[in-house]
Amino acid sequence: MTQPARTTHVRWTDVPLEEVVPGISRKLVTGDRMMMAQIFLKEGAVVPTHSHENEQFTYVVEGALHFWLGEDGEEEVVVRAGEVLHIPSGLPHRAQALEDTVDLDVFSPPRQDWLDGTDDYLRSGSG
């Protein structure tokens, strides 16, 4: 008989805040097949163009993010507080905070590059 998976209970206040670059910080909670990240962006902060194998949901809790989606950023959408954006696996995208913003990102599978610090596209400011 297989053992059931164990649950995890986390308080965001107990999760360390990582400053990725000036103006962008995050907190991560990871399971076996999903990851949730609380992202804090100062007005004007830019997430450079990138893509990843991970399917992503971005839920804006406070503020607003302007997204450019597609190879040439041909699709634009502004996601405001209370709205969710689904980003399919492999779709190039970038974002800019239109105001101080808090968003909640959910990834499946977890972002290994975020876990091991190899997310150079974000840390270097280039896609």
Greater pLDDT, 75 or 4: 75
Q: Does a structural domain hold residue 14? A: no
Residue 127 has pLDDT above 60, yes or no: no
- Separation in Å, CA 37 to CA 1, 88, 106, 109: 34, 17, 6, 13
Asked if residue 103 is part of any domain, the answer here is: yes
What is the spatial distance between Cα 12 and Cα 2, in angstroms, rounded to a whole number? 31
CA quadruple 37, 20, 109, 103: dihedral, nearest 10:
30
Assigned domain for 79 exists: yes
- DSSP 3-state of 12: helix
Q: What is the pLDDT of residues 51-108, one digit of tens each?
A: 999 999 999 999 999 999 999 999 999 999 999 999 999 999 999 999 999 999 999 9
- pLDDT tens, position by position, 22-59: 999 999 999 999 999 999 999 999 999 999 999 999 99
Here the tokens at position 81 are: 């507080």
In a domain, 21, yes or no: no
Range of the domain at 47: 28-121
Q: What domain count does the chain have?
A: 1
Amino acid, single-letter form, for residue 50:
H
What pLDDT does residue 3 have? 75
Q: Answer yes or no: is 50 within a domain.
A: yes
pTM of the model: 0.92
CATH at residue 44: 2.60.120.10
